[in-house]
Amino acid sequence: MLINGRYELEDLPIGRGGMGEVYLGRDIKLDRAIAVKFIRFPAGSYDQDYIRRFVRESRITARLEHPGVPAVYDVGTHENRPFLVMQRILGVSVADLVAEQGPLPVGWATAIAAQVCAVLAVAHEASLVHRDLKPSNLMLEPDGGVKVLDFGLAVAPDQPEFSRITVTGQPLGTPAYMAPEQIQAALTGPATDLYALGCTLHEMLTGERLFTGSTSYDVMSKQVSHPPAPVRGVRAEIPVELEQLLLDLLEKKPEDRPADAHVVYRRLTSFVTELSPLPGVLSPPGDPSPTRMYAAVLSRVFADAPVRRTPITPAPLARKPESVPPPPSLSVDRGQVRRARSEARRLAGKARYAQAADVLAGAVAA
């Protein structure tokens, strides 16, 4: 199948999700492997709400520039179905990894969780909350890297263009990984993603979901009211400190969880040891890995720099000589203001809100 005269796709999709299906293919113009995600209408008919969410995902994913997020290459429409062209990710989902191998070694479970924290840190700093973090949305690559997929339910509380995220009748996440506040009041924030990370880490360490039930309602009820079982009751070799971190992540109240993803990352890294080969999953140790080579050098940046324990007291500012004249004041006339407003309105009409805001901000500054 050839779309847009450029993307040659395989005949059958490799996977289907709640709102999309993914095909592998090749960009024949640039000669590179790609993955293309098409919108999928559950009822089989055109749905404007789903299209809006799909467009949101493409913009949200494109905003996140991080090695742990698949790159977005292009967007388009084929036979009235919007599609997103993305970096092809080779690897295995963490859900499949646990299903095949059972509980993961402590080092690998924490290594995967720490890499997810690195992605959450950049997402949360951009005011984006994933809201559907789970093992099936995490891909472990052959070089040991982790990619966080599917920002289709992400929300940006302080970004107007991304604030409306719910499709009527659609769930706000996956019950087995939903935080109590997400279930009870549809409230989400960075702490919501940390709770989902706790559920995912519990599953990696035990091979079982945190809570199960015969219905989604049963699972959500347990998320709200049942305390999590300590993992050392299942695996005695799990360090006490790691069990405590897991319990902290799974606190029912968001304010009782760790402060942010940076804190969780630091607490996880001490357990990231003995990353032995995972048969059939990782490239053999003898195979060259440019990614690991690159990361090995980066890990040494400032590695030997002394840690400053005392706050830095800024030096007093030198007094400006009286002979230096003040800088000239900036000003704009009414015509320039009208042009700025017109340009901002044009950009907003194309949903390019950030650029519109920049135009107005420039006029205000002047």
Record the tokens describing residue 14, joined without a space.
């490799």
DSSP E strand boundaries for the chain: 2-3, 7-9, 15-16, 20-27, 32-39, 72-78, 81-87, 92-93, 138-140, 146-148
CA-based nearest residue to 34, from 62, 8, 56, 65: 8
Q: Residue 263: helix, strand or coil by DSSP?
A: helix
**224-251 burial, b if ≥16 CB within 10 A, otherwise e?**
beeebeebeeeeeebeeebbebbbbbbb
Element counts in the chain: helices (H) and strands (E): 11, 10
The single residue of 11, 47, 96, 132 carrying the catalytic annotation is 132
Q: Would you tell me how many other CB atoms lie within 10 Å of the CB of residue 352?
A: 16
**Rg value, the chain, Cα:** 24
What sign does the CA torsion over 223, 204, 114, 60 have?
A: negative
Amino acid at 325: P
Whether 132 is a known active-site residue: answer yes
Degrees, nearest 5: CA angle 153-157-158: 140
Catalytically active residues, by annotation = 132
